[in-house]
């Protein structure tokens, strides 16, 4: 896969944006810049809105999600969470723990700008507490999903080393929060977020909802040091290219939104500073995202299998039984699933694609440099997003159903 050489874009000595800074020092500098002030002001406005959920037309489609047993690892995860709580001081508990219906679920972001005063910052925890946090995450995810999460955290440290900014970009530069009381019956969950990573995990009895998720890396592989050989997003890139390459000329025409990732025939305003081509990023919980591209009912049986295989790649963090249930849910809306593409479909050239249906939103985007110096998107900087449209990000629709049902029992 991508052979783009990120080493051509490492800043020269003295040119790094973050050399020698701590995370707080770096944030204090950035939040005074007009462009960052504008981004944060818009995020604050979006956060002030009541939650609706991402929709395609501005109205939530009802009756898409159901409470049902899926053999989620609720018992294992709740035991791990209770063990963590037993290790927290009173002040740490106040800082990290919120009600299950707290608005703070939506207060995550994927930049390195450390402005938050809530949650547990992993780099500030002693080893025992940090290991307990990791055990909550490990107990909730599939083995592959946990490994991928840790790989992204390690590549963040690798980026910090590349640009001399280890005080800002590190393996533990992440915030962890707990929501609700860990339980086999009542909804509860956790959140982990920071640079290039956000996971929101909710347990409702035998179900687990992990959404929204953000995963990214700059660069997406390490070629030296203790992480040499580590690489992420190979399959998301390869399988996306293979699916686009399988289309007929008419199908490609339907799927292709724009040939250019930057300027050219890209619609004006489509690229945003904070999100690149992503539409479902941080604080975009209520965004209206119209369907675009090639519809699933126009795909061959083989192409639909490839599409579902690509979708499953993004849900690898789900435990096995939960993954099966989620894929069944997604497959039931296959004919109303849309696939769109922006950019080149050639090897080693940047692109964006989106998979969208009533029950899933997936985005893949190659980005320009933030700490590396490439001014246009390159294959070695990747952002990915997964959301659950029509009101079930953060498990909100199922939490509502749970409490509506409980009142009558």
Question: How far from 311 is each of 40, 160, 243, 304, CA to CA, in Å?
Answer: 31, 31, 11, 10
State the helix-helix crossing angle for 74-87 and 127-140, rounded to 10 degrees. Answer: 170
In a domain, 3, yes or no: no
Q: Which of 216, 250, 268 is the last residue of a domain?
A: 216
Together in a domain, 211 and 230: no
In a domain, 367, yes or no: yes
Together in a domain, 245 and 345: yes
- In three-state secondary structure terms, 382 is strand
Together in a domain, 260 and 323: yes
Together in a domain, 160 and 36: yes
Say what the pLDDT of residue 3 is.
52
Separation of alpha carbons 262 and 134, rounded Å = 39
Alpha carbon 222 to its chain's center: 21
Say what the pLDDT of residue 19 is.
85
Q: Which of 171, 192, 216 is the last residue of a domain?
A: 216
What number of CA atoms fall less than 13 Å from residue 401's CA on the CB side?
Answer: 16
In a domain, 1, yes or no: no
Please give the tally of structural domains in the chain.
2
Together in a domain, 333 and 387: yes
Together in a domain, 58 and 142: yes
Most distant pair of Cα atoms in the chain: their distance? 66
- Residue 354: how many CB atoms within 10 A of its CB? 24
Question: How far from 326 is each of 110, 300, 321, 333, 336, CA to CA, in Å?
Answer: 25, 22, 9, 11, 16
- Helices H / strands E in the chain, number of each: 11, 12
The token pair at 321 is 């039984």
Q: Parallel, antiparallel, or unpaired: how do β-strands 174-179 and 97-98 relate?
A: parallel
DSSP string, 328-362: HHHHTTGGG-EEEEEE--STTS-EEEEEEETTEEE
Instruction: Tell me whether residue 14 is exposed, middle or buried, using C-beta atoms within 10 angstroms of its C-beta: 0 to 12, 13 to 18, 19 or more.
Output: exposed
Together in a domain, 279 and 208: no
Say what the pLDDT of residue 407 is.
64
Say what the pLDDT of residue 1 is.
44
Say what the pLDDT of residue 13 is.
80
* Upstream peptide bond of 219 is cis (omega within 30 degrees of 0): yes
In a domain, 167, yes or no: yes
The token pair at 371 is 């700490």
Q: Which of 216, 243, 258 is the last residue of a domain?
A: 216
Together in a domain, 161 and 251: no
Separation of alpha carbons 98 and 77, rounded Å = 17
Separation of alpha carbons 215 and 193, rounded Å = 10
Say what the pLDDT of residue 117 is.
95
In a domain, 405, yes or no: no
Say what the pLDDT of residue 17 is.
79
Together in a domain, 211 and 264: no
Together in a domain, 58 and 150: yes
In a domain, 404, yes or no: no
One pLDDT digit (tens) per residue for the chain, 409 residues: 445 689 999 998 888 878 888 999 999 999 999 999 999 999 999 999 999 999 999 999 999 999 999 999 999 999 999 999 999 999 999 999 999 999 999 999 999 999 999 999 999 999 999 999 999 999 999 999 999 999 999 999 999 999 999 999 999 999 999 999 999 999 999 999 999 999 999 999 999 999 999 999 999 999 999 999 999 999 999 999 999 999 999 999 999 999 999 989 999 999 998 899 999 999 999 999 999 999 999 999 999 999 999 999 999 999 999 999 999 999 999 999 999 999 999 989 999 999 999 999 999 999 999 999 999 999 999 999 999 999 999 999 999 999 998 864 4
In a domain, 144, yes or no: yes
Separation of alpha carbons 275 and 214, rounded Å = 11
Together in a domain, 269 and 157: no
Say what the pLDDT of residue 14 is.
82
In a domain, 142, yes or no: yes
The whole domain housing 242 covers 225-395
Together in a domain, 33 and 128: yes
């Amino acid at each position: 896969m991508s052979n783009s050489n990120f080493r051509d874009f490492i800043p020269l000595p003295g040119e790094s944006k973050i050399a020698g800074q701590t995370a707080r020092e770096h944030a204090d500098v950035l939040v005074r810049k007009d462009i960052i002030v504008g981004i944060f002001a818009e995020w604050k406005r979006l956060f002030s809105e009541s939650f609706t959920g991402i929709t395609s037309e501005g109205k939530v489609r009802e009756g898409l999600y159901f409470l049902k047993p899926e053999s989620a690892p609720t018992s294992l995860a709740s035991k791990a969470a209770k063990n963590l709580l037993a290790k927290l001081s009173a002040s740490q508990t106040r800082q990290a723990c919120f009600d299950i219906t707290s608005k703070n679920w939506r207060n995550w972001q994927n930049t390195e700008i450390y402005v938050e005063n809530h949650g547990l910052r992993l780099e500030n925890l002693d080893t025992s507490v940090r290991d307990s946090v990791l055990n909550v995450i490990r107990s909730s995810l599939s083995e592959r999903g946990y490994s991928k999460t840790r790989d992204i955290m390690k590549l963040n440290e690798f980026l910090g080393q590349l640009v001399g900014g280890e005080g800002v970009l590190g393996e533990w530069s992440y915030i962890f929060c707990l929501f609700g009381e860990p339980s086999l019956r009542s909804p509860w969950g956790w959140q982990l977020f920071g640079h290039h990573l956000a996971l929101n995990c909710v347990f409702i009895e035998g179900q687990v909802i992990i959404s929204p998720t953000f995963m990214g890396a700059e660069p997406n592989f390490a070629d030296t040091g203790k992480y040499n050989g580590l690489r992420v997003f190979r399959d998301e890139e390869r399988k996306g290219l293979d699916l686009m390459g399988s289309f007929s000329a008419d199908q490609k025409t339907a799927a292709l939104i724009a040939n250019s990732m930057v300027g050219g025939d890209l619609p004006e305003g489509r690229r945003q500073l904070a999100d690149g081509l992503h539409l479902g990023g941080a604080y975009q919980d209520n965004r209206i995202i119209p369907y675009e591209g090639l519809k699933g009912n126009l795909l061959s049986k083989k192409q639909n299998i490839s599409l579902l295989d690509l979708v499953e790649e993004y849900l690898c963090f789900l435990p096995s039984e939960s993954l099966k249930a989620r894929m069944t849910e997604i497959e039931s809306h296959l004919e109303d699933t849309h696939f769109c593409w922006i950019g080149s479909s050639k090897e080693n050239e940047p692109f964006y694609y989106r998979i969208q249906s009533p029950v899933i939103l997936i985005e893949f985007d190659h980005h320009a440099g933030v700490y590396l110096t490439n001014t246009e998107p390159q294959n070695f900087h990747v952002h990915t997003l997964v959301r659950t449209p029509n009101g079930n990000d953060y498990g909100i629709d199922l939490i509502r159903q749970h409490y509506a049902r409980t009142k009558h029992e």
